[in-house]
Amino acid sequence: MTGGVLVTGAAGFIGRSLVDALAEAGEAVVALDIRPVAPDRRRDGVTYETADICDPALIALFGRHRPRCVVHLASVVAAGGDPQRDHAIDVGGTHNVLQACRAAGVAHLVVTSSGAAYGYHADNPVPLSETDTLRGNEDFPYARHKRLVEEMLADWRRHYPALLQTVFRPCTVLGPGTANQITAMFARPVVVGLSGTTTPFSLVADSDVVAALLRAVRDGRGGVFNLAGDSTLSLRQIARLLGKPYLPLPPAVLKAALWLFNRLGVTKLGPQHVKFIQYRPVLDNTRLKDDFGYKPHYDAAGVFARYRAAQENGR
């Protein structure tokens, strides 16, 4: 197959839906993931490849398929893992994908980065625009790796302008089946937050992420865009919508608790991760709507209502 679309991380949360959307749009798709896809879950007309984005053999694989566009979704999605392994996947893996794109003559690379690349800081602008400095925290590997990836992408834009890039910085992505560290906060009997902060969540629906990615592939429009729905929801508002009590703890108390639980092996999170709740990046989506031309279908309240309805139906 030549001239089609290759998706890394194709077996993931967003990847599966994007592969379906691309196939339905008539694209020839190569779905690549380190996890093999069971035969009964494979879609007719899609080519499936089981491969590691960190493997140097990726260059030969790209060369066989010679896609016109690569959508790079493969990344580490959970904080608190092994920093060296996570760096190898996020940073090393992205560099390998870039090298493979260049070797195969790929014309367009679409990448999902993260709003975490801005970092979690008390003095973050509210909201954050694409021109604000990326300050992914050094002591928070997930945010640091996203910043390093974006610095690498910016360097490649300068040195290899023939490879068009579309880079999205999603905020918290919620869909009907989302289950991660964020939704774990919502699932507890009491929603725990921090005193002294509203903890505003920028939210975007998984369906809006897929639609924006599909538009990027089909329109071939480059640039860097925050990917978020309109408005925000505070953690207190989320607790109210869930009908659960809200317990704001002093940051020092939560840091001490995480230090203890980490030492006991109860959690991989440590005191440094408190900033993940304390200083949530609020993303401005003006450029997404005005320059890229995509208006998310759901605002923050709509994203959460959709997620909550699915949870209730599941119960």
Catalytic residues: 142
* Structure tokens, 117: 């690349």
Q: What angle do CA 76, 77, 82 make, to 5 degrees?
A: 50
Name the E strands within the chain: 5-8, 29-33, 46-50, 69-72, 108-112, 164-170, 172-174, 191-194, 200-201, 203-205, 223-227, 233-234, 246-249
- Percentages helix, strand, coil for the chain (3-state, rounded to 5) are 45, 15, 40
Continuous H helices in 88-173: 93-104, 141-159
Cα 169 to its chain centre, rounded Å, is: 7
Phi, psi of 129, rounded to the nearest 5 degrees: -105, 170
Q: Which residues contact 109 (CB under 8 A, 6 or more apart)?
A: 69, 70, 72, 97, 98, 101, 163, 164, 165, 166
Whether the CB-CB separation of 220 and 165 falls below 8 Å is answered with: no
**How deeply is 41 buried, as exposed, middle or buried, from its count of CB atoms within 10 A (0-12, 13-18, 19+)?**
exposed
What tokens were used for 297? 């279908």
Measured distance CA(176)–CA(181) in Å, rounded: 15
Q: Is 264 left (phi over 0), alpha (psi -120 to 50) or beta?
A: alpha
Q: CB within 8 A of 135, min separation 6: which ones?
A: 118, 119, 121, 147
Report the C-alpha gap between 93 and 84 in whole angstroms.
12
